[in-house]
Amino acid sequence: MTAVAVLGAGISGLVAAYRLRRTLGPSARILLVDDADRDGGKLRTVDIGDVPVDVGAEAFVARRPEMPALLVELGLSDLLVRPSATARPLVRSGGALHPLPVGTLMGIPASAESVAHLVDAATVARIEAEATTPFRWTPGHDASLGDLISERFGPQVTARSVDPLLGGVYSGLSVTTGVRAALPGLAAALDAGATSLTDAVLRARPAPTSGPVFGGLRGGYRPVLEALAAEADAERVVTRVGSVTRAGSEWTVDGVGVVDAVVVALPAPAAAAALATFPTLADRLGAIELASSAVVALRFDGVDLPDNSGVLVATGELRHDGEPLRAKAFTLSSRKWPHLADRGGEFVRASFGRYGDAAIVDEPDGVLIDSARRDLADVLGVDTAPTAAVVQRWYGGLPQYRPGHLDVVADLEAAAAELPRLELAGAYLHGVGVPACVAVASAAAERTAAALA
């Protein structure tokens, strides 16, 4: 009997197990190994009252095909929902609320006009002059997004337009994020001879398309995770993943046993520990840093939120009393998602924690809830006690795509390719979003099945 161990029960591990079951058939033995007794990893849906609310990722890029296709396969297409067409996001900057800039590339402007409402006159003039300022870029070079943007457009653009968006995607900062991994289209434009950063952004911006950028799920991610687990029909092993070693044509997972193949779908540090006997893999995995974060989900009754999808917070932003705003973003879930608006009450998610700010995640529930309330009162004037609150901590939730990250990934994939029937999957490889994780895990399962055949 063919046996495959899938290490990690997050979305990557569940998709890999599901794909393996579909390909290998009912006779294969598939073991899904994780020290958590809950499937889903960094995806989790909780009930606030009788309303399911995601406290991990709550949306996905709908223009990628992976999630809609997976929903069709699982018979769950009716769960797909779109955000409100009228609720627009805001940015809190300089003590005031502003519309999120449009016509940018992850907040990087193609013109001064797009961010003029966020920055001062000197920065506007600097952006306008950037296209005629001497510019040098070495093809193949990687750089910090923050350094590049601040040098060419000024630090206000970085703090007020780019960092708020990157904080939501990577729980990171632009200064710790590499151009090539985070914005490959921008890197390609620079490599192709863009004459300025403005020129590169104009070349790299995606063409406008109709339809919403994001999609969500009625009922949250829970029904998808449950369907994947049911269809995978794997033996669920609740244990800390031990070391992975190879003996001849077989693999041994400490604490699990001998198997024919292994798919490692663990966060990078855990994968490094499991693969410690393979120095290249362990070294490269160990070089990938993670950011921790926390989500405070709040329900209010008798409160009217503005018709906006959320508020991103500029770095270094202060409350009106002079104290720092601690939340990096608020999602006004019941305004963003019409299916939640129909359930009664108002739902808000406050997000905390960027790379380098892990200490905030360790604060007691009461402190995080109080911080969410105080910041929400300052930002939106909502100074009412919530009727329910849930705190979710994500330790090591998101890998950081630092400069040089693509070289690390290339080394990892080359080293793994030398080891028959060992595959890697996870958010540290080719994108942190759910569609990217689904794509990487599906490819890993396909290669595993082909090798076993």
Phi, psi of 3 (to 5 degrees): -125, 130
Number of H helices, E strands in the chain: 18, 22
Range list of H helices, 289-364: 333-336, 338-341
pLDDT at 358: 85
Can you tell me whether residue 146 is helix, strand or coil? helix
Q: Going by DSSP bridges, is the β-strand pair 308-313/88-93 parallel, antiparallel, or unpaired?
A: parallel
The tally of CA atoms less than 13 A away on the side-chain side of residue 53 is 31
Task: Report residue 145 as tokens.
Answer: 């997004």
Task: Report residue 188 as tokens.
Answer: 């390609």
Burial of residue 1 (CB within 10 Å: 0-12, 13-18, 19+) is exposed
Segment-wise mean pLDDT, segments of 10 residues, the chain, 453 residues: 97 98 97 96 94 95 94 97 94 96 94 96 98 96 96 97 91 93 97 97 85 90 98 97 93 96 98 98 97 96 93 95 96 94 89 91 96 97 94 95 97 97 98 97 98 93
Q: Transcribe 170-225 into DSSP letters.
A: HSS-GGGSBHHHH-HHHHHHHHTT-SSHHHHHHHHSPPP-SS-SEEEETT-SHHHH
Task: Indicate the residue type of 425.
Answer: A
CA distances from 430 to 18, 177, 257, 270, 435 (A): 20, 14, 30, 18, 10
CA distances from 403 to 187, 269, 357 (A): 12, 18, 20
Contacts of residue 100, defined as CB under 8 A and 6 or more positions apart, other chains included, come to: 88, 89, 90, 91, 312
As a whole number of Å, the CA-based R_g of the chain is 23
**What residue ranges define each of the domains in the chain, with the CATH number in brackets?**
3-58+220-288+403-452 (3.50.50.60), 104-204 (1.10.3110.10)
Widest pairwise Cα distance in the chain: 70
Task: Report residue 146 as tokens.
Answer: 């923050």
Do residues 220 and 60 touch, judged by C-beta distance below 8 A?
no
Q: Tell which residue, 396, 372, 355, 435, has the closest CA to residue 42.
A: 396
d(CA 59, CA 310) in angstroms, rounded, equals 13
DSSP code of 77?
Answer: G
Do residues 333 and 349 touch, judged by C-beta distance below 8 A?
yes
pLDDT at 13: 98
Q: Tell which residue, 302, 262, 331, 324, has the closest CA to residue 55.
A: 331
Q: What is the pTM of this model?
A: 0.95
Q: What is the dihedral of CA 350, 354, 358, 362, to 10 degrees?
A: 0
Do residues 411 and 278 touch, judged by C-beta distance below 8 A?
no
Q: Going by DSSP bridges, is the β-strand pair 261-264/290-300 parallel, antiparallel, or unpaired?
A: unpaired
